Every structure is written in C-alpha cells, then in structure tokens.
C-alpha cells in the first residue's frame, strides 16, 4: 500500500483524507446503512459527522472511534478525529 507521505507531492493532505473517508463511508453505507462525512480539516483536527443509520445508534461512538478514527490514524497518525455533531 502506498503511504500518504509518498503521494503528498501530487495531492494535498485534505484531498487524501477526503478520499480515505469516502472509502470508509462506502463501507459503512453498504454494510450498516450509515454514513460518515468530512466536515473540516483544520490543522491536526479532523471533524466528521455520522449520518444515516448511525444517527441515534448506541454503537455510533464505536463506529466513530473504532472504524473511522482507527482507520484514519493508520494513514494519518497525527490527526485527531472529532465528532462535529448532527
């Protein structure tokens, strides 16, 4: 797998993070009926919003911190993923 550092010359970090979140979103939508959307990337803070079946789901914190933040940290360990709210 290509590391983010190797492709930064061609794409901004925001573009790379957005592309990763689109992949995560497709998985969440297909298998769980939910969604994740990038709200903003300001410095090291990535704000995301869960939607669809994730709204009101008691497992949404696990989705946010496990699936979303965990996957983002694999590629961008310096980013802090936070919930932007509904």
pLDDT in tens, 31-67: 999 999 999 999 999 999 999 999 999 999 999 999 9
The model's pTM: 0.84
The pLDDT-based confidence of 10 (bands split at 50, 70, 90) is: confident
CATH architecture group of domain 4-83: 2-Layer Sandwich (3.30)
User: Could you give the CA distance from residue 79 to residue 77 in angstroms, rounded to a whole number?
Assistant: 6
Phi, psi values for residue 41, rounded to 5°: -130, 110
Beta bridge mates, 45: 42, 80
Between the CA of residue 74 and those of 13, 33, 58, 71, what are the distances in Å?
Answer: 14, 24, 25, 5
Query: Where do we find the tokens 């789901």?
Result: 57
């Amino acid at each position: 797998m290509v590391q983010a550092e190797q492709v930064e010359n061609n794409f901004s970090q925001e573009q790379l993070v957005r592309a990763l979140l689109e992949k995560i979103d497709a998985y969440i939508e297909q298998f769980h009926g939910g969604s994740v959307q990038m709200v903003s990337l300001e410095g090291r803070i990535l704000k995301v919003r869960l939607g669809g079946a994730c709204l009101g789901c008691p497992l949404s914190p696990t989705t946010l911190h496990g699936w979303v933040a965990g996957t983002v940290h694999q590629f961008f360990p310096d980013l802090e993923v936070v919930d932007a709210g509904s």
